Structure 1
Amino acid sequence: MALARVVLASGRSVDLCELRMSSTYGGLLEGYPCKPLNDRTIDRLLRSAGQAFAGAPVHLVPPPREYPDQYAGAFGPVEVLPAVTCVGSFRSEALDPAHDRALYRSRLTVVWFQTAPHVPSGCDAEPALRDLPWERLAEDEEL
């Protein structure tokens, strides 16, 4: 049973089967949010998502980056990502119409950021998440 169903802008429904949320800067002990730190964080998330959901393609929804008017330190200007990091495993009907619907489904692991810790559902998901080009990113798997 899915945690939630998200309706993509294309009209396709995808089921959120597993969701991992964390604070984007929860482990930041010293320093400040900046581009090098954020890029490393995103790379780490993509690698861990690929390991956690082996075999499924992984897609990053490019996060919005804010640049508050704060002192730029040794690593460049302050760059802030949304507060909540999300890694979700999604499933939907098979992409290939020749595949038996009872034996195949499509899958995709998605990494995205959001401002608050809420489970995306229906048409209330983040717009960038709803705009996923599922047919281009996901792949079919045999059950």
Structure 2
Amino acid sequence: MSLARVLLDSGRSVDLSELRMSSTYGGLLEGYPCKRVNDRKIDWLLRSAERDSPGAPVHLIPPPREYPDQYAGAFGPVEVLPAVTCVGSFRSEALDPAHDRSLYRSRLTVVWFQPSPRVPSGCDAEPSLRDLSWERLAEDEEL
């Protein structure tokens, strides 16, 4: 059973089987959001997704970065990512048409950022998520 189904721009439907959401800066105890902090956060998210989904391909949708007109401290200019961090496991039909549809499916773990805590569904997902190149990024797995 999936949490939601997302329709990609390519016309392929993908099922969201697992979703982890968190506040992008919820654990920031000191300092301020800057490029160095954000790059470390993204690196940690990717490593965590790879560890939690062994064997599955992991893809980062590069987040938009905003640079508000605020005082630049010791770590450089303030750089802000969207408020919500998402890590989702998606499944779909097998990529290879030679694979038996009852024995194979394709899978991809995606890391992305969005402005609010809502589950992507149908055509109401973030545009960057709907624009995924599933055929290039996902891999088939035998069930």
Band the TM-score falls in, shorter-chain normalisation: over 0.9
CA–CA distance in structure 1, aligned partners of residues 31 and 41 of structure 2? 14
Q: How many residues align?
A: 143
What is the aligned-residue identity percentage?
86
The runs of 5 or more residues in structure 2 that have no matched partner are none
Equivalent residues in 2 for 1:1-143 (5 A)? 1-143=1-143
Equivalents in 2 of 1:23, 1:56: separation in Å?
Answer: 24
The DSSP-based 3-state class of the residue aligned with 1:37 is: helix
- What amino acid sits opposite 2:106 in the alignment? S
1: CA distance, partners of 2:53 / 2:115: 24
The CA RMSD measured in Å over matched residues stands at 0.3
Per-residue CA distance 1:57-79 (angstroms, 9 max, x = gap) = 00000000000000001110000
Spell out structure 1 runs of 4+ moving beyond 3 A.
none
Return the TM-score normalized by structure 2. 1.00
Give the CA deviation at 1:101: 0.2
* TM-fit CA distance, 1:34: 0.1
**SS in structure 1 of the partner of residue 91 of structure 2:** strand
Tell me the secondary structure at the aligned position of residue 73 of structure 1.
coil
| AA of the residue aligned to 1:43 | D
CA-CA distance at 1:39 after TM superposition: 0.2
Where structure 1 has 5 or more consecutive residues not aligned to the other structure, the ranges are none
SS where residue 44 of structure 1 aligns? helix
The whole-number CA distance in structure 1 between the counterparts of 2:75 and 2:12 is 42
Q: Which residue identity does 2:53 align to in structure 1?
A: F
- Alpha-carbon distance between aligned partners in 1 of 2:122 and 2:63, rounded to the nearest angstrom: 21
Cα distance in structure 1, aligned partners of 2:6 and 2:92 = 10
Q: Deviations over 1:45-67 (max 9, x none)?
A: 00000011111000000000000
